Amino acid sequence: MENALPFIFILISLFVPQCTVATDHPSCLSSCGSLRLKYPFGSGSGCGSPRFHPYVTCSAEPSNQLLLTTHAGTYPITSISYTTSTITITPPCMSTCTSMQQSSKLSLDWASPFQLGPSTFLMLSCTPPTSSLCIKGSLVCDPSSSHLCTSFYTCPSVIGLGLPLFPPTNTCCVYSPANLNSEDELDVKSMECGGYTSVVSLTDYPTDPTRWEYGVLLKYTHGAFDHYYIDNKCNGCEESGGVCGYSTVDNDSFVCVCNNGVNTTTQCSNFSDQDESIFWSSAQLHTWKSWLGILAGYLLFSIATYSEIGGESFWVGL
């Protein structure tokens, strides 16, 4: 029995959890390109909110760009406003004053946390007259804003749409406020148009399209899941220098990813060897506790057997 005891203790030491980082969680970035990432946004799986992945990801080097992916396309995200809960995307096929091109549609996913925001769309190279353009029986063009078409059509790149220089403005429609159809799409072809542009802001130059701010504004919503973690855990995690994320193997439970490589369920500044809330998933905890129970039982059985063989009562000795 004396020779067996060291072996038993060696086995126990192999299965008792050490202060090491869980291996089931990826590293998370606090920024992607020039954009700062805060909850609910994340750089990939296990980062930010599970509601926002896989819709939003950070592309690998060298582009290192934050992207929104839908069922019909991938769009670069150029800005995030955490104050207004909005993002701005720049669809690759969207026209601007410096580059106009044919486009088929803009799409979102109805199950995603994103909805179309208050952007102003200009439908371009449409079948005239656009004043009669209807969607679901309703006229969509805003005649009071037709001056935007006049200004935009002064851009020389208009020939990229197959139009002549200074084309007739009755081939342009100012669609504002804009809505997507039942499939969460702006279907350019079904509107009998060749392309579109979206203007986030006219800045201080309403008649100079070279200085407009182009992009599609999207609103995002926080679900109950996000509100719970923001109010209870995420703010503290980010204030301690961590990045908010979730476990990809433990029912999306909250994880605070720290820059020293440690993952906790609280805050980075709270980490210590005695913290009961650190770095193991429930699956890992269950595994080592099971082995420890088996080995402990075997140890007690061996001690009891040894005591009986030696003619001594182990239990009385206790």
Tell me, yes or no, whether 97 and 164 share the same domain.
yes
Q: Which two tokens stand for residue 292?
A: 């420890």
Q: Which domain holds residue 303?
A: 4-25+240-317
Tell me, yes or no, whether 206 and 149 share the same domain.
yes
Q: Which two tokens stand for residue 52?
A: 């926002």
Tell me, yes or no, whether 121 and 200 share the same domain.
yes
The residue among 51 and 230 whose pLDDT is bigger is 51
Tell me, yes or no, whether 256 and 154 share the same domain.
no
Q: How many domains does the chain have?
A: 2
Tell me, yes or no, whether 111 and 11 share the same domain.
no
Which of 216, 250, 281 is the last residue before a domain boundary?
216
Give the C-alpha separation, 269 to 118, whole Å. Answer: 41
pTM above 0.85, yes or no: no
Give the tens place of pLDDT for each residue, 184-200. 999 999 999 999 999 99
Within a domain: 282: yes
| pLDDT band at residue 81 under the 50/70/90 scheme | very high
Least confident of 123-132, 198-207, 222-231, 250-259: 222-231
Tell me, yes or no, whether 133 and 98 share the same domain.
yes
Tell me which amino acid residue 297 is.
G
Give the C-alpha separation, 188 to 167, whole Å. Answer: 19
Within a domain: 73: no
Which of 216, 232, 248 is the last residue before a domain boundary?
216
Tell me, yes or no, whether 101 and 210 share the same domain.
yes
Within a domain: 135: yes
**Do the beta carbons of residue 51 and residue 221 sit within 8 Å?**
no
* Helix, strand, or coil (residue 268): helix
Residues 6+ apart with CB under 8 A from 117: 86, 216, 217, 218, 219
Which of 216, 232, 250 is the last residue before a domain boundary?
216
| pLDDT band at residue 271 under the 50/70/90 scheme | low
